Amino acid sequence: MEIQIRHLEATDRQDIFDIYRHSSVLENTSQKPFLSTDQVERLFGHSDHFTLVAEVSGKVVGHITLFMTTKVRDRHCAGLAIAINPEMHGKGVGKTIMQEAINQADNWLNLVRLELEVHADNHSAIALYERVGFQLEGTKRLSTFKNGKYIDMLLMSRIRPDYL
């Protein structure tokens, strides 16, 4: 299986929306269920963000977005969001797109710090983040509501190696 990584295009809107139609994807985000295509577009289609997509056989099966800031003192940092079509879990799509986002952050976007929040019960995502160099920074206890109860979120970051 060949995974192509490229920048998000306007024509990818439906494929991105299709990823977020899966309840197993949405339950691990901070969004409410049943997002519309317009809501998905507003989340990731903003020109200040840097979004890459993973394409397999002409279909977008995942995306990663670096949320850039306009704050002068924080321009070396970016937040990160990723979603992979559940049909492609365990096939290297997440790792491939994460590695390319890190390459872009380190070598082209002049970012030093990438950070994310992940649900504490999302063990496969946590393992992926650790494999590509993210480390646990802390726990936000009972910080999000999921499946009828409050759960913890983990704060993770990756610092560019030449700054360690």
81 bridge partner residues: 65
Whether 98 and 128 have beta carbons less than 8 Å apart is answered as yes
Task: Of 64, 2, 12, 62, give the one whose Cα is nearest residue 37.
Answer: 12
Whether 82 and 44 have beta carbons less than 8 Å apart is answered as no
Tokens linked to 31: 């969004």
Q: Answer yes or no: is pLDDT of 45 > 70.
A: no
Stretch among 39-48, 81-90, 110-119, 134-143 having the lowest mean pLDDT: 39-48
pTM above 0.85, yes or no: yes
Set out the domains of the chain in order of their start, with CATH numbers. 4-163 (3.40.630.30)
pLDDT at 39: 81
pLDDT tens, residue by residue, 140-164: 999 999 999 999 999 999 999 999 8
